Amino acid sequence: MPADSMSPELYNCRFLKAARREPVDTTPVWIMRQAGRYLPEYMAVRSKVSFIELCKRPDLAAEVTLTARERLGVDAAILFADLLPILQPMGLDLEYAKGEGPVIHNPLRTPSHLPRFHEVEDVGCLGYVFDAVKLIRRQLPANIPLLGFAGAPFTLASYAIEGGGSKNYALTKTWMYTDPGAWRSLMETLARSLIRYLRAQIDHGCQAVQLFDSWAGCLGPDDYREFVLPYTKMVLDGLPPDVPVINFLTGNPALLPLLRAAGGQVIGLDWRVNLKEAWASIGHDVAVQGNLDPVTLYADLATIRRRTKAVLDAAEGRPGHIFNLGHGVFPDLKPENVIALVEMVHEMGQRR
């Protein structure tokens, strides 16, 4: 949702002010995967439907999104959806297999398979996502923003080629190295589709979006610069400039300067870096998000408090810090610990 169409209460909310690097009363916080299996309320809904049905039922996606935001007391809601359903209208047979996660039954194993991969020119085929956005926005408190999201081109390309998870991304990298022309075509197809998809999320009621490059950490800097950065930048350049974008990559701190070069008003940091050092390295003229190790939430409250304070201290009270975990919350964590974390951030992050 562009700034000129927001209410003053929403425009001046804690999260969006931090994303613009403006002073706030206390550090805003939200949690990646905040609507998930660790919450009994989520499991009550999930027990009745499959994961993909939950994603494709706007009423249920809205319910778990809103319940998680309210239960945790966080400063932003994030749309309940998944990275991969956009690949279905592009020609891939996606299944969420029980106990195995997402599986693509007709992956793009070689560049010769590229002709059956289709650009999403009409995002109406993903209308269930936008219907959920509208339902959530109508029911959220007036000062709570809604975040949309999508997978970045490299992460989606890797799923499309590997057919699922991978330890070494050998098929993906082989395609990259041996047929750069086909790789460029694949990545541009994804980037153009993602621009339309994210813009539609914004148009239907999201105030910010996050781009997840969950798998790009497998690359070295030279490969990221050549094979990934241009297409991530293409997506980010294609979004409205007054809508904050969180550019998040996990697994390789050496890529942070290149992540910054790709764009985004907020750079997401995983737990493998010191927040103070990382922020200084990419420049204080950009906001940052992160970066508590999610494993911390298995510990006792005193340990959680100490480690949360360390992250806040690393930010030094500088405008532009959004607190989050360095990755998603784990499904077997105690909800009480997550709630306590949010309360700690709000208490210790207060500006004096």
State pLDDT tens for residues 151-181: 999 999 999 999 988 889 999 999 999 999 9
Question: What pLDDT is stored for residue 100 in this prediction?
Answer: 66
Instruction: Based on the residue annotation, tell me whether 37 is a catalytic residue of this protein.
Output: yes
Instruction: Based on the residue annotation, tell me whether 352 is a catalytic residue of this protein.
Output: no
Residues whose CB falls within 8 Å of the CB of residue 95, separated by 6 or more in sequence, listed in order: 102, 103, 104, 105
Instruction: Based on the residue annotation, tell me whether 82 is a catalytic residue of this protein.
Output: yes
Q: How many domains does the chain have?
A: 1
Q: Which of 82, 179, 203, 223 is catalytic?
A: 82
Q: Which of 159, 169, 197, 231 is catalytic?
A: 159
| CA quadruple 333, 338, 305, 266: dihedral, nearest 10 | 110
Instruction: Based on the residue annotation, tell me whether 33 is a catalytic residue of this protein.
Output: yes
Confidence of residue 305 (pLDDT cuts 50, 70, 90): very high
Q: Which of 14, 46, 192, 307 is catalytic?
A: 46
* Residue 212, domain CATH: 3.20.20.210
Instruction: Based on the residue annotation, tell me whether 159 is a catalytic residue of this protein.
Output: yes
SS3 assignment for the chain:
CCHHHCCHHHHCCHHHHHHCCCCCCCCCECCCCCCCCCCHHHHHHHCCCCHHHHHHCHHHHHHHHHHHHHHHCCCCEECCCCCCHHHCCCCCCEEEECCCEEEECCCCCCHHHHHHCCCCCCHHHHHHHHHHHHHHHHHCCCCCCEEEEEECHHHHHHHHHHCCCCCCCHHHHHHHHHCHHHHHHHHHHHHHHHHHHHHHHHHHCCCEEEEEECCHHHCCHHHHHHHCHHHHHHHHHCCCCCCCEEEEECCCHHHHHHHHHHCCCEEECCCCCCHHHHHHHHCCCCEEECCECHHHHHCCHHHHHHHHHHHHHHHCCCCCEEECECCCCCCCCCHHHHHHHHHHHHHHCCCC
- For residue range 119-154, list pLDDT tens digits in order: 999 999 999 999 999 999 999 999 999 999 999 999
Confidence of residue 5 (pLDDT cuts 50, 70, 90): confident
- For residue range 223-249, list pLDDT tens digits in order: 999 999 999 999 999 999 999 999 999
Domain that holds residue 179: 3-348
Please give the Cα distance from 131 to 21 (Å, whole number): 31
Q: Which of 11, 33, 57, 225 is catalytic?
A: 33
Is 0.85 surpassed by the pTM of this model?
Answer: yes
